[in-house]
Amino acid sequence: MVQGNLGIEPEVLKSIYGQMVRIRAVDKAIQAGLSAGKFTFTYWPMTGQENIPATISQLTTARDYMVTTYRGIHDQVAKGVDLYGMFAEALGREGGLNKGKGGSPHISDPSSGSMVTTAIVGAGPVIANGLAISAKERGEDRVTIVNFGDGATSIGPVHEAMNLAGVWKLPIIFLCQNNQWGEYTPIETYTASPNFFGRAQALGFRGVQLDGNDPAAFYNGMKEVIESVRAGNGPVFVEALTYRMGPHAGVGDNYNAAKDILAAAKERAPVEKTRSLLLDAGICTEDELSAVEAAAKAEVEDAIARAMTSPVTPASETLVDVFADATCVPTRGIYPVREAEGEFPGPTATMTMATAITDAQDVAMAANPEVFLLGEDVGDPQGGAFGTNKGLQTKFGKNRVRNTPISESAIIGAAIGSSIAGMNPIAEIMFADFMGVCLDQIANHAAKQRYMSGSATHAPLTIRMQVGGAIGGFGAQHSQNLEAWLTHVPGIKVLFPSNPVDAKGMLLSAINDPDPVVVLESIMLLFTQKAEVPTGDYRIPLGVAKVKREGTDVTLISYGFELHNCLAAAEELAKEGISAEVIDLRSLVPIDYHRVLESVKKTGRAVVVHAAVEFCGLGAEICSTINEELWGQLKAPAIRLGADYAPIAYSREIEMSQVPGAAAIVSRVRASLKS
């Protein structure tokens, strides 16, 4: 064979092989170390897939974004991730790329362009869309490549991501490394599709199938694809055919594969084939290749040796990186005193809560071009299901206010990815009930990104959700108060305003916060509450409760629309000579236990009220804290009042009885006074 027939420049082929042997050296070292008991961590081998990232490394730079999966250690090596930092991370050491907090399945290394590694199958593409949005909006020529296996093509977010990318013509490559196995299951037993690249055509953009084991063919195919995407021609789906020769997890051969099929795959393995090609074509000598291989082995051995000496990440790091500010973490016995907002100077205007929410977004978008809004029907003329965004698309344009498909995972994923890239997205979820559709993106990605990356990356997005309940007619799937789902997930801040002034000021704080924040907006209050609201930019600090009514006999603690029921109950109690202090929590995480406890010290009694189901609700947590901290000072145990343990009924009569109203609160207070 002569060099002219290679179909690829000899120097490029040599460089590809150099990356392949680095990947192979990492693979061998890990498998040897695990087998010998030298170290212990979960490993998902990519043996046989080395050519794919090795080739891509010759066509991209650190400026280009990459998202990959827990099996993507080969992608990390080729992307330029520091090997010492990578091994230290896998070993849970302080010197790890992410301080040992994410491990190999969660590497983030912005310096190399390795932005997100997800351990959730199929979750990466929706986040990668957000990275691509940021590049497109900033006029950058970055390409985003999201890697996933063939098994991920069966999961919904992959389809959602492809659909959104096609509609918005995003500069993204969906790279399916088709290794013929979905974990332990071969392709023919989980799909009837003849291929995967054809799915792109059904969604309106191009798909190609390339030989992922042939460096020349893959290089030329990917070169054209990357150039096309970089030029702004929209997304491309690449199905890279290869074969995973190892098991789903662990070491050794793929024991699920038939022996003859595995033997044939080994004959086509890219490392060995490329080595022979370099020798046969006269590009390299045996000594030259041996030197390249020895250098790779030495590099890996040195990285592992240094990683093994790095200290184990200590327990003192436990609460660091949950939030940007560790004092926001709810911690037993530690109740920070946060300064409340002062008087807001300047002009005001009469606003409903809905108008105040719109105004907050208007102020934020005018101040910062990196703030944008996305969600279902958020554009004009509708302005969202409840009109909380009216006029914003007309004022700021369709790129700043983006109507999306009905696709909650794609919405939240895009918001996460763009926020990781430094933008400040506001994602609207039409009803809080629909959180269940995209809970993976909220709880496993937005909430955990800062922690898993050791603050190398973070996701400063805002998620707005409308909340039903006690209105009647919405039924069981549009009326749930699900704040306890969110407060139980470390890494998410949760706000629940009760009036227009707080709605605007807290939303502006959320948009400018360094952490993911969910703002829950009560549908009942959107148009029933009016107030004089400052017209400019002002902030309500997070984690600061407010005394809405002073009292001496009992403290009523609530938030959202139930706060108004508590105020109404306090009026009724006053007629009986009972003085109730009413506290609006406003912020559920971080929570202002200091002001709550100071109030209950004064009154000696507490009733926590929420519209969410009482069983396992936030009220139980607050009552427990009050009872623990003030035991011996209370006149009666703190008690809670929430909704009955049943789905919200369509029948208005049932719903009004199962969600606490003023009369039920009065009754509960009376019970407390009898204790």
Mind telling me the catalytic residues?
Answer: 478
ω into 590 cis (within 30 of 0): yes
Report the half-sphere exposure of 634 (CA within 13 A, side-chain side): 23
CA gap 500, 178 in Å, rounded: 52
Adjacency order of strands within the sheet including 114-118: 114-118, 65-69, 144-149, 172-178, 236-241, 206-211
CA gap 549, 69 in Å, rounded: 52
Query: Which is nearest to 338 in space by CA: 528, 539, 480, 157?
Result: 539
C-alpha separations of 86 from 42, 73, 93, 160, 452 in Å:
14, 9, 10, 31, 13
Largest CA distance in the chain: 100
Q: Which residues pair with 65 in a beta bridge?
A: 144
User: What type of residue is 368?
Assistant: N
Q: Are 646 and 612 in contact (CB under 8 A)?
A: no
Query: Which is nearest to 304 in space by CA: 662, 29, 496, 603?
Result: 29
Could you identify the residue written with the tokens 């108008």?
355
CA gap 581, 566 in Å, rounded: 9
Q: Are 387 and 530 in contact (CB under 8 A)?
A: no
ω into 125 cis (within 30 of 0): no
For 422: left if phi > 0, alpha if psi spans -120 to 50, otherwise beta; the answer is left
Kindly state the tokens that stand for 275.
């080595």
For 5: left if phi > 0, alpha if psi spans -120 to 50, otherwise beta; the answer is alpha
Kindly state the tokens that stand for 326.
């560790």
Q: Are 489 and 482 in contact (CB under 8 A)?
A: no
SS3 label, residue 99:
coil
Beta-carbon count within 10 A of 15 CB:
16
Q: Are 359 and 546 in contact (CB under 8 A)?
A: no
Return all residues near 565 (Cβ < 8 A) that are at least 6 apart. 558, 609, 660, 661, 662, 665
User: What type of residue is 153?
Assistant: T
Q: Are 607 and 627 in contact (CB under 8 A)?
A: no
Query: Which is nearest to 642 in space by CA: 565, 585, 571?
Result: 565
Query: What stretches of 615-661 show up as alpha helix (H) in DSSP?
Result: 618-629, 652-658
Query: Which is nearest to 478 in space by CA: 407, 428, 443, 429?
Result: 429
